[in-house]
């Protein structure tokens, strides 16, 4: 076959190319392809941000290797069943026949196909079969989201056994980092100055460069706090404010109460997200929204909320639904407003018209967060923006602020230091990958939840002064135009925040309850410590270092001896830091 079709596949398959890129490969795709062609490697790891066009790039390489006789067969390994069909559809457009329905029990596929698409789990169940198929013909193995080969020891061992004899192996990932230190097969590691082994990519294309190139959309994160009240199994009634410093257990339960479909918090946030979607649709008429839910039951409940909000039905995609892939394709091709899903669309699935998201899940690993946000960043034309609504949880706020930070997969990590609350919190959140188990561990009844607009996070900065849901202040940010360049977004956010602050200064202050000196200082310390915690998540600096920098900038003694005026000055300073680019 010729490589003509592959060279003219849209750079952002399965939909339109980003502005200014069609019909040729994007610059990064061509650069990575040229590097691969020069090296002619057996193994090649390409790290490219979600939405950059890894499928098109990989199929161009596959077409070239087939045309030159370097390979005779292709095996594509994916994390999910749906992605097998998505790859087969893309390959079919360039004349490469891929069987996405291949079963281990078959042993062989039709001669009409050049190769097969299988899942990592499928390979792990019968690695000897896939090894035999790999040995029989010179095979290119394309690993989609290769980090999944480290999900379980059996998966990694199975992948290594099955594809060790492959003529070529092309590893792809949008998020090379993992929350554990399981080695990923066929990925190279080298020791850094601190003695850690870091994964080595042969070619990298991160979110920052992709944003500069107009390949992906800028992401605006809209965070919501609020009052939560719940009753424990013991009958105790507990209240907490999401977005303020909380203990590990308080945060876990307040977070779960916020996501409970029986409370008002999630309904109010979805209403705000739908208003944002309406605004985006003024410039992007087919823009769609996605709610990422915790489990099947809440997904269905969220869909009922959306029907009440929009008077339209929402598409619900569940992992055990045999028609899930068909539903995803139908939604992608439609102009329907909302899709609700648990995990089916958190990784790899391409619905380029998704512009607005609600992160309504308790899963908080960096890997899952990055892949989930990746569903909204694929740009189709210049100026499109993505908006993601999320709870004001320190872990999520930190991840949102780290969007442009590159991460490598690191082995032999040192154990965390004792006493670091942030590390303990991250560990607790990582245990939430099975929300149903969390429910058994922390049984309680949600009594009352109310959402409050907290702030906007964009480009490393934080904007907004907090506001009631439905207020003019909230609408200032929800009503941002849906078509803006990244620098225009930042400029407009700064202006809206400045206008709000000026308006508040003009308003007469309401008389506050007089606090005793010790109460006032304790309240200010709590506020400062909460801001320091958020800055820690954003920068990685230890809390003590942040406090020391604030003392150097503002003067005065340690916080234990600081006056109310000195603490207030440090609060103002760290807020100024938060509005500036990292």
pLDDT at 513: 60
Residue 534 has pLDDT above 80, yes or no: no
Give the tens place of pLDDT for each residue, 31-45.
999 999 999 999 999
The Cα–Cα gap between 464 and 493 comes to 8
Question: Does residue 19 carry a pLDDT above 60?
Answer: no
Asked if the peptide bond before residue 62 counts as cis, ω within 30 degrees of 0, the response is no
**Quick one: three-class SS letters along 447-490?**
EEEEEEEEEEEECCEEECCCEECCCHHHHHHHCCCCECCHHHHH
pLDDT band at 416 (very low <50, low <70, confident <90, very high): very low
CA distance 135 to 195: 37
Annotated domain spans of the chain = 27-205, 218-410+449-505, 517-580
At residue 347, the pLDDT reads 53
Please tell me the predicted confidence (pLDDT) of residue 543. 77
Instruction: Give the residue, 429 or 292, on which the prediction is more confident.
Output: 292
**How high is the pLDDT of residue 343?**
65
pLDDT of residue 424: 31
pLDDT of residue 221: 94
Residue 255 CB partners (closer than 8 Å, separation 6+) = 242, 362, 391, 393
Angle at 405 between CA 404 and CA 410, to 5 degrees: 150
User: Quick one: average pLDDT of 243-247?
Assistant: 81
Q: What is the mean pLDDT of residues 357-382?
A: 85
- The reported pLDDT for the residue numbered 228 is 93
The larger pLDDT score, comparing residue 438 to residue 191, is at 191
Instruction: Kindly tell me the sign of the dihedral angle through the C-alpha atoms of 114, 352, 285, 382.
Output: negative
Please tell me the pTM assigned to this model.
0.70
Q: Over range 407-413, report the average pLDDT.
A: 57
Q: pLDDT (tens digit, 9 = 90+) per residue, 332-349?
A: 999 999 999 986 555 556
pLDDT surpasses 90 at 135:
yes
pLDDT for residue 181 is more than 70: no
* Cα 269 to Cα 252: distance, rounded to the nearest angstrom: 19
pLDDT value of position 189: 82
**3 state DSSP class of 410:** strand
Q: Which of 83, 23, 77 is nearest to 50 (CA)?
A: 83
pLDDT of residue 419: 30
Express as a percent the part of the chain with pLDDT over 70.
82
Residues 448-504: tens digit of each pLDDT: 999 999 989 887 778 877 788 888 888 888 888 877 777 777 788 778 777 766 766
Where does the pLDDT of residue 142 fall: very low under 50, low under 70, confident under 90, or very high at 90 and above? very high
Averaged confidence pLDDT in the chain: 82
How confident is the model at residue 430, as a pLDDT?
36
One fold for 27-205 and 218-410+449-505: yes
Render pLDDT for 283-293 as a digit per residue (tens, 0 to 9): 999 999 999 99
Q: For residues 32 and 38, what is the distance between their CA atoms, to the nearest angstrom?
A: 10
| pLDDT over 80 (residue 194) | no
Q: Which of 9-13, 147-151, 167-171, 558-562 has the lowest mean pLDDT?
A: 9-13
pLDDT at 11: 57
The alpha carbon dihedral of 141, 145, 146, 148 has a sign of negative
Average pLDDT over residues 378-396: 89
When the candidates are 3.40.50.10810, 3.40.1110.10, 3.40.50.720, 1.20.120.1460, the CATH number that belongs to 27-205 is: 3.40.50.10810
Does residue 245 register a pLDDT over 60?
yes
Q: Is pLDDT at 278 greater than 50 in this prediction?
A: yes
Q: For 489-510, how does the pLDDT look when each residue is reduced to its tens digit (9 = 90+)? A: 778 877 877 776 676 666 565 5
- Phi/psi for 38 (5° steps) reads -70, -40
Q: What is the pLDDT of residue 320?
A: 66
The stretch 121-143 carries a mean pLDDT of 96
Find the range with the poorest average confidence among 180-184, 254-258, 293-297: 180-184
- pLDDT exceeds cutoff 90 at 441: no
pLDDT of residue 20: 36
Instruction: For domain 218-410+449-505, give the fold.
Output: Rossmann fold (3.40.50)
pLDDT(166) > 90 = yes
How many whole angstroms separate alpha carbon 534 and alpha carbon 197? 29
pLDDT of res. 129:
96
């Amino acid at each position: 076959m010729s490589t003509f079709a592959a060279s003219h596949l849209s750079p952002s398959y399965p939909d339109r190319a980003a502005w200014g890129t069609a019909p040729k490969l994007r610059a990064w795709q061509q650069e990575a392809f040229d590097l691969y062609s020069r090296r002619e490697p057996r193994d090649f790891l390409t790290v490219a941000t979600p939405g950059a066009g890894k499928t098109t790039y990989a199929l161009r390489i596959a077409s070239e290797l087939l045309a030159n006789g370097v390979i005779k067969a292709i095996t594509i390994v994916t994390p999910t069943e749906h992605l097998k069909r998505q790859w087969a559809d893309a390959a079919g457009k360039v004349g490469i026949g891929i069987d996405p329905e291949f079963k281990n029990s078959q042993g062989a596929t039709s001669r009409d196909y050049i190769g097969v698409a299988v899942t990592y789990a499928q390979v792990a169940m019968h690695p000897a079969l896939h090894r035999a198929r790999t040995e029989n013909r010179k095979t290119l193995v394309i690993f989609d989201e290769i980090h999944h080969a480290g999900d379980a020891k059996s998966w990694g061992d199975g992948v290594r056994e099955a594809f060790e004899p492959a003529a070529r192996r092309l590893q792809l990932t949008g998020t090379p980092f993992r929350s554990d230190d399981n080695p990923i097969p066929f990925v190279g590691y080298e020791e850094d100055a601190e003695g850690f082994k870091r994964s080595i990519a042969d070619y990298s294309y991160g979110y920052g460069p992709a944003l500069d190139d107009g390949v992906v959309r800028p992401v605006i994160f809209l965070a919501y706090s609020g009052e939560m009240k719940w009753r424990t199994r013991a009958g105790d009634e507990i209240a907490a404010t999401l977005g303020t410093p909380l203990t590990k257990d308080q945060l876990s339960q307040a977070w779960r109460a916020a996501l409970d479909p029986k409370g008002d918090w999630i309904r109010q946030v979805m209403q705000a997200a739908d208003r944002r979607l309406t605004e985006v649709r003024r410039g992007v008429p087919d823009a769609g929204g996605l709610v990422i839910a915790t489990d099947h039951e809440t997904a269905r409940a969220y869909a009922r909320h959306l029907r009440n909000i929009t008077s339209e039905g929402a598409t619900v995609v569940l992992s055990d639904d045999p028609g899930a892939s068909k539903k995803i394709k139908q939604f992608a091709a439609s102009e329907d407003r909302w899709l609700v899903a648990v995990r089916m669309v958190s990784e790899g699935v391409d619905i380029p018209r998704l512009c607005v998201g609600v992160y309504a899940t308790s899963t908080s690993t960096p890997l899952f967060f990055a892949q989930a946000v990746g569903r909204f960043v694929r740009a189709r034309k210049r100026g499109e923006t993505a908006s993601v609504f999320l709870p004001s949880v320190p872990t999520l706020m930190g991840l949102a602020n780290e969007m442009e930070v590159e991460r490598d997969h690191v082995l032999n990590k040192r154990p965390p230091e004792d006493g670091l609350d942030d590390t303990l919190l991250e560990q607790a959140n990582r245990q939430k990958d099975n929300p149903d188990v969390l429910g058994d561990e922390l049984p309680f009844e949600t009594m009352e939840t109310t959402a409050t607009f907290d702030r906007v996070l964009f480009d490393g900065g934080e904007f907004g002064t907090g506001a009631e849901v439905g207020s003019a202040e909230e609408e200032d940010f929800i009503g941002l135009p849906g078509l803006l360049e990244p620098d225009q977004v930042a400029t407009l956010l700064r202006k809206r925040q400045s206008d709000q602050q000026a308006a508040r200064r003009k308003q007469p202050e309401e008389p506050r309850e007089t606090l005793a000196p010790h109460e006032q200082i304790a309240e200010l310390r709590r506020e400062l410590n909460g801001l320091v915690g958020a800055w820690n998540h954003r920068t990685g600096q230890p809390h003590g270092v942040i406090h020391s920098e604030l003392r150097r900038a503002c003067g005065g003694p340690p916080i234990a001896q600081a006056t109310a005026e000195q603490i207030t000055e440090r609060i103002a300073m760290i807020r100024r830091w938060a509005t500036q680019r990292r």
